Amino acid sequence: MDTRHSAFAIFRILAVPGVGPGRLWRVRDFANHAHASLDDLLRRPEELRLILSEDQIRDLQQKEEQALEAWAKLRDQEVSVLTIFDEEYPDSLRSILAKKAPPLLFVMGNKGLLAKASMGFCGSREPSGKGLAVARECAVMASKKGINVVSGYAAGIDMTTHRAALETGGTTTIVLAEGLFHFRVKRDLKDQWDWNRIAVISEYLPSLPWSVSNAMRRNQTICSLSKAMVLIEAREAGGSIEAGRTCLKLGIPLFAPVYEGMPESAKGNQLLLREGARSLHKSRTTQMPNLKGVFAAFQSNLHVAVS
Q: What's the full length of the chain, in residues?
A: 307
Residue 228 and residue 147 in contact, taking contact as beta carbons nearer than 8 Å: no
Q: Each residue of 47-103: pLDDT tens digit?
A: 999 999 999 999 999 999 999 999 999 999 999 999 999 999 999 999 999 989 999
Examine the domain organization and report whether 43 and 132 are in the same domain.
no
Q: In the prediction, which pLDDT does 304 show?
A: 36
16: in domain: yes
* Cα dist from 150 to 187, 223, 271, 291, whole Å: 19, 9, 23, 16
Return d(Cα 167, Cα 185) in angstroms, integer: 16
Residue 31 and residue 38 in contact, taking contact as beta carbons nearer than 8 Å: yes
Angle between helix 7-14 and 64-76 (nearest 10): 120
Q: In the prediction, which pLDDT does 307 show?
A: 28
Examine the domain organization and report whether 193 and 278 are in the same domain.
yes
126: in domain: yes
Its pTM stands at 0.93
Examine the domain organization and report whether 126 and 201 are in the same domain.
yes
Residue environment code for 219-256, b if the CB has 16+ CB neighbours within 10 A, otherwise e: bbbbbbbbbbbbbbbbbeeebbbbbbbbbbebebbbbb
Examine the domain organization and report whether 63 and 116 are in the same domain.
no
285: in domain: yes
- The residue from 52, 75, 98 where one domain ends is 75
Return d(Cα 282, Cα 13) in angstroms, integer: 50
- The residue from 17, 49, 75 where one domain ends is 75
Q: What is the CATH number of the domain that holds 253?
A: 3.40.50.450
Range of the domain at 137: 111-298
Examine the domain organization and report whether 184 and 131 are in the same domain.
yes
104: in domain: no
Examine the domain organization and report whether 195 and 289 are in the same domain.
yes
101: in domain: no
Return d(Cα 221, Cα 118) in angstroms, integer: 12
Examine the domain organization and report whether 34 and 146 are in the same domain.
no
Examine the domain organization and report whether 232 and 176 are in the same domain.
yes
Examine the domain organization and report whether 34 and 148 are in the same domain.
no
94: in domain: no
**What DSSP character marks residue 35?**
T
171: in domain: yes
Q: In the prediction, which pLDDT does 3 show?
A: 57
Examine the domain organization and report whether 68 and 122 are in the same domain.
no
Examine the domain organization and report whether 275 and 136 are in the same domain.
yes
Which residues of the chain are under the pLDDT cut of 70? 1-4, 300-307
What single-letter amino acid sits at 176? L
- The residue from 27, 48, 75 where one domain ends is 75
Q: In the prediction, which pLDDT does 306 show?
A: 31
Domain count, the chain: 2
Of 151, 145, 141, 143, nearest to 176 (Cα)? 151
Examine the domain organization and report whether 67 and 144 are in the same domain.
no
210: in domain: yes
